[in-house]
Amino acid sequence: MKFLRNLVEGMKPTFSKGGKLEKLHWVFDGLETFLFTPGHATERGAHIRDGIDLKRTMSIVITAMIPCLLFGMWNVGHQHYNALGFLREVEVGFWHKMMFGAVKVLPIVVVSYGVGLGIEFLFTSIKGHPIQEGYLVSGMLIPLVMPVETPLWMVAVGSAFAVIIGKEVFGGTGMNILNVALTARAFLFFAYPTMMSGDKVWVSTANDMNFPLVDGFSGATSLGHAAAGNISKVTPMMDSFWGLEAGSIGETSAFACLIGAAVLIITGIGSWRIMLATLLGGAAMATLFNWVGPQLDEAYTTRMYMQIPVLHQLVLGGFMFGLVFMATDPVTATQTNTGKWIYGFLIGLLAILIRVVNPAYPEGMMLAILFMNVMAPLIDHYVVQANIKRRMKRVALQTA
């Protein structure tokens, strides 16, 4: 560590004012503070203003996502071999599945970080401001919410769109109004719908041996089956909890998401109020559907979908992933404690509502969070105004 410190100190004059690479000062500063704790607090942005530094906060969030990444790589391999009829048991072929998953997933991660950080460095050099490390988290979130068969060029386009349009045009990290990773996901979903949805993008069926797929194989997700009325093909609840189903790379395992939630809550990075409120909102809507569903005519297309048990609804798809890592984004979420309860509850409510009632969007979490991102400032405004009115009434009573 001392050698590395001396090496960095020796390079500093070259990047400092008057040095040969003065224009790359902020790039060097970003790399230096990544290796060593800075002697200053984060100043830019509205969500982190203490000595932990933004980069340290982002590192904790990345650590919380590692279980989802590792399980996602294994599950990519598991779904692949399951489609081919090999190594179908969960306990068999662990390293084969991990290796296949790593080959498919890691290039997506590399492209996401390469393009996103490259654009960040470009804006840093042009504008002459410090590197804004918010993309350290977004660069990992973007691959985790992508189907495994997403082409790398699409990952690059989505990452570029998210950084430039979703973040930089608003002033950079801490100033954006929409979650950056979901901005990339939504852009690709609406720009290339056939390549981001359907039955062929969730499971990698490519193989060098040209083995046929097993009889009856379908690459549809559980939510896709449910939206189509094939409730019998929905993954059982415990398999959904562990993540043994097709879906976006890092979203399928509710168990891995709960590990991440524990890390974020213990470290104080993620809001437990938003997580709990989102869970309660989703449970409330699923409970309402459980009550309404049996009373509907059998011709009603989503009647059976409504009757999926509450706990099963909450562990299906990307609900838990969105609850833990997306809804709690400190930049785009509400800032007041009361606002966090309202914000989270409505996200859960809308996510299940969109998922069940609108079959065009089997996974409603993305749209629910983006919509509530836009509503967050309004919620905080009315919460603050309500507090002001209550205090004014107390003052009036005391002075009367």
Residues 28 and 91 in one domain: no
Residue 65: inside a domain: yes
Residue 49 above 50 pLDDT?
Answer: no
The answer for residues whose C-beta is within 8 angstroms of residue 266's C-beta and 6 or more apart is none
Lowest pLDDT segment from 61-70, 99-108, 197-206:
197-206
What's the rounded Cα separation, in Å, for the pair 160 and 156?
Answer: 6
Residues 128 and 7 in one domain: no
Nearest-10 Cα torsion for 308, 311, 313, 317: -140
Tell me which residue of 149, 341, 127 sits closest to 247, measured CA to CA: 149
Residues 14 and 110 in one domain: no
Average pLDDT, the chain: 85
Residue 47: inside a domain: no
* 3-class DSSP assignment, residue 61: helix
What pTM was estimated for this model as a whole?
0.85
Residue 188: the pLDDT is 94
End-to-end CA distance of the chain: 66
Tell me which residue of 259, 246, 256, 279 sits closest to 351, measured CA to CA: 279
Residue 50: the pLDDT is 47
Token duo for residue 183: 């901005």
Residue span of the structural domain in which 262 resides? 54-205+221-386
Residue 266: the pLDDT is 93
* SS3 track for 275-288: HHHHHHHHHHHHHH
Residue 288: inside a domain: yes
Lowest pLDDT segment from 43-52, 120-129, 212-221:
43-52
What's the rounded Cα separation, in Å, for the pair 386 and 381?
Answer: 9
Work out the pLDDT band at 88, boundaries 50, 70, 90: confident
Residues 20 and 63 in one domain: no
- Report how many domains make up the chain: 2
Residue 294: the pLDDT is 87
- Higher-confidence residue: 172 or 398? 398
Residue 97: inside a domain: yes
Residues 14 and 112 in one domain: no
Work out the pLDDT band at 9, boundaries 50, 70, 90: low
Per-residue pLDDT reduced to its tens digit, 126-159: 766 666 666 888 999 999 999 999 999 999 999 9
Residues 133 and 176 in one domain: yes
Residue 211: inside a domain: no
Tell me which residue of 207, 171, 256 sits closest to 79, measured CA to CA: 207
User: Residue 217 — left, alpha, or beta (φ > 0 → left; ψ -120 to 50 → alpha)?
Assistant: beta
Per-residue pLDDT reduced to its tens digit, 282-325: 999 999 999 998 888 877 888 888 999 999 999 999 999 999 99
Per-residue pLDDT reduced to its tens digit, 10-45: 666 665 666 655 555 555 555 555 445 555 455 544
Residue 117: inside a domain: yes
8 A C-beta contact, residue 119 and residue 164: yes
Residues 26 and 80 in one domain: no
In degrees and rounded to multiples of 5, residue 216 shows phi and psi of 80, 5
Residue 146: the pLDDT is 94
Residue 320: the pLDDT is 96
8 A C-beta contact, residue 240 and residue 312: yes
Residue 44: inside a domain: no
What's the rounded Cα separation, in Å, for the pair 300 and 186?
Answer: 29
Per-residue pLDDT reduced to its tens digit, 318-350: 999 999 999 999 889 999 999 999 999 999 999
